[in-house]
Amino acid sequence: MTREEANSRIAELRSILEENARLYYVENSPRMSDYEYDQLMHELEALEADFPEFASPDSPTRKVGSDLETGAVSREFVQRPHRYPMLSLGNTYSISEVEEFSARADKTLNTSFTYCCELKFDGTAICLTYRHGRLVQALTRGDGVVGDDVTENARRIANIPQQLHGDYPEEFEIRGEVLMPYAAFDHLNELRVLDDEQPFANPRNAASGSLKLLNPDEVAQRGLWCTLYHIPAQSIDFESHDQALTAAASWGLPVSTDRRICRNIDEIKAFIDHWDVERKNLPYATDGVVIKINEMAYQRMLGYTAKSPRWAVAYKFKAEQALTPILSIDYQVGRTGAVTPVANLEPVLLSGTIVKRATLVNEDQIRALDIHEGDYVYVEKGGEIIPKITAVELSRRRPGAPVPGFPTVCPDCGTPLVRQEDEAKWFCPNSDGCPMQIKGELLHFTGRKAMDILAGEATVDQLYNLGFVRTPADLYDLTLRQLTSLEGWKEKSAIRFRTSLDKSKSVPFERVLFALGIRYVGETTAKTVARHFGSIDALIAAGEDDLKEVPDVGDVCARSIYEYFRDERHLLEIERLKAHGLQFSLEHQGGALSNALEGKTVVISGTFSISRDDMKALIEKHGGKNSGSISGKTSFLLAGNKPGPEKLKKCEELNVPVLSEEAFMALLPESADTFASEESVEQLSLF
| DSSP code of residue 686 | T
Other CB atoms within a 10 A radius of the CB of residue 512 amount to 25
Q: Which is nearer to ligand IVH, 256 or 493 (CB)?
A: 256
Other CB atoms within a 10 A radius of the CB of residue 86 amount to 22
For helices 457-465 and 435-446, angle between their N-to-C axes, nearest 10 degrees: 130
Instruction: Using the rule CB under 6 A, give the single segment among 115-123, 525-533, 561-569, 617-625 that binds ligand IVH.
Output: 115-123
CA distance 207 to 198: 15
CA distance 72 to 251: 33
Instruction: Using the rule CB under 6 A, give the single segment among 57-65, 84-92, 407-415, 463-471 that binds ligand IVH.
Output: 84-92
Report in angstroms how near the CB of residue 573 gets to ligand IVH at its nearest.
Answer: 41
Catalytic residue among 120, 292, 388, 647: 120
Q: Which is nearer to ligand IVH, 90 or 374 (CB)?
A: 90
Other CB atoms within a 10 A radius of the CB of residue 470 amount to 14
CA distance 623 to 123: 46
Q: Which is nearer to ligand IVH, 18 or 258 (CB)?
A: 258
DSSP three-state, residue 44 = helix
Q: Which is nearer to ligand IVH, 30 or 309 (CB)?
A: 309
Quick check: 371 binds ligand IVH (CB under 6 A)?
no
- The number of CA neighbours under 13 Å toward the Cβ of 606 is 18
Range 504-507 contact pairs with CB under 8 angstroms and sequence separation of 24 or more: 504/451, 504/452, 504/453, 504/582, 505/580, 505/581, 505/582, 505/583, 506/583, 507/450, 507/451, 507/452, 507/582, 507/583
| Total number of residues that touch ligand IVH (CB under 6 A) | 15
Report in angstroms how near the CB of residue 260 gets to ligand IVH at its nearest.
Answer: 12
Task: Provide the CA 585 distance to its chain's centre, in angstroms.
Answer: 24
Q: Which is nearer to ligand IVH, 91 or 221 (CB)?
A: 91
CA 676, 677, 680, 682 torsion-angle sign: positive
Q: Which is nearer to ligand IVH, 232 or 517 (CB)?
A: 232
Among 37, 121, 275, 284, binds ligand IVH (CB under 6 A): 121
Q: Which is nearer to ligand IVH, 140 or 153 (CB)?
A: 140
Instruction: Using the rule CB under 6 A, give the single segment among 63-71, 113-121, 245-253, 319-327 that binds ligand IVH.
Output: 113-121
Contacts of 211 (CB under 8 A, 6+ apart): 124, 126, 140, 150, 153, 154, 178, 219, 224
Report in angstroms how near the CB of residue 142 gets to ligand IVH at its nearest.
Answer: 12
Quick check: 603 binds ligand IVH (CB under 6 A)?
no
Report in angstroms how near the CB of residue 312 gets to ligand IVH at its nearest.
Answer: 6
CB 247 within 8 A of CB 254: no
Q: Which is nearer to ligand IVH, 89 or 586 (CB)?
A: 89
Quick check: 37 binds ligand IVH (CB under 6 A)?
no
Q: 81 — phi, psi (to 5°)? A: -75, 145
Report in angstroms how near the CB of residue 300 gets to ligand IVH at its nearest.
Answer: 13
H or E element: which one contains 637?
strand 636-639
DSSP three-state, residue 449 = coil
CB 365 within 8 A of CB 427: no
Q: Partners of 293 in the beta sheet?
A: 115
Instruction: Using the rule CB under 6 A, give the single segment among 157-165, 215-223, 307-315, 530-538 that binds ligand IVH.
Output: 307-315
Instruction: Please say if 650 is a catalytic residue.
Output: no
Among 9, 82, 120, 496, binds ligand IVH (CB under 6 A): 120
Q: Which is nearer to ligand IVH, 309 or 606 (CB)?
A: 309
CB 529 within 8 A of CB 626: no
> Mask of contacts with ligand IVH, 93-112, x by CB under 6 A?
--------------------
Report in angstroms how near the CB of residue 281 gets to ligand IVH at its nearest.
Answer: 18
Among 67, 177, 258, 587, binds ligand IVH (CB under 6 A): 177
Report in angstroms how near the CB of residue 184 gets to ligand IVH at its nearest.
Answer: 19
Report in angstroms how near the CB of residue 160 gets to ligand IVH at its nearest.
Answer: 16
Quick check: 314 binds ligand IVH (CB under 6 A)?
yes
Other CB atoms within a 10 A radius of the CB of residue 588 amount to 13
The interface with ligand IVH within residues 573-602 (CB under 6 A) comprises none
Using alpha carbons, select from 404, 410, 400, 348 the residue that is nearest to residue 379. Answer: 348
The interface with ligand IVH within residues 228-287 (CB under 6 A) comprises 229-230
CA distance 385 to 357: 10
Q: Which is nearer to ligand IVH, 308 or 594 (CB)?
A: 308
Instruction: Using the rule CB under 6 A, give the single segment among 306-314, 357-365, 480-488, 619-627 that binds ligand IVH.
Output: 306-314
Contacts of 559 (CB under 8 A, 6+ apart): 544
Q: Partners of 628 in the beta sheet?
A: none
CA distance 244 to 229: 9
Report in angstroms how near the CB of residue 171 gets to ligand IVH at its nearest.
Answer: 19
Q: Which is nearer to ligand IVH, 121 or 406 (CB)?
A: 121
Task: Provide the CA 259 distance to its chain's centre, in angstroms.
Answer: 32
Among 10, 40, 89, 98, binds ligand IVH (CB under 6 A): 89
Report in angstroms how near the CB of residue 377 gets to ligand IVH at its nearest.
Answer: 28
Quick check: 290 binds ligand IVH (CB under 6 A)?
yes
Q: 134 — phi, psi (to 5°)? A: -105, 140
CB 61 within 8 A of CB 45: yes
Report in angstroms how near the CB of residue 287 gets to ligand IVH at its nearest.
Answer: 8
Among 48, 67, 118, 242, binds ligand IVH (CB under 6 A): 118
CA distance 453 to 450: 8
N-to-C CA span, the chain = 50
CA distance 319 to 637: 53
CA distance 613 to 685: 9
Report in angstroms how near the CB of residue 253 gets to ligand IVH at its nearest.
Answer: 14
Among 309, 341, 472, 643, binds ligand IVH (CB under 6 A): 309
Q: Which is nearer to ligand IVH, 240 or 459 (CB)?
A: 240
CA 272, 276, 278, 281 torsion-angle sign: positive
Instruction: Using the rule CB under 6 A, give the single segment among 88-96, 328-336, 456-464, 643-651 that binds ligand IVH.
Output: 88-96
| Footprint on this chain of ligand IVH (rule: CB under 6 A) | 87-89, 91, 118, 120-121, 125, 177, 229-230, 290, 309, 312, 314
Q: Which residues are catalytic?
A: 120
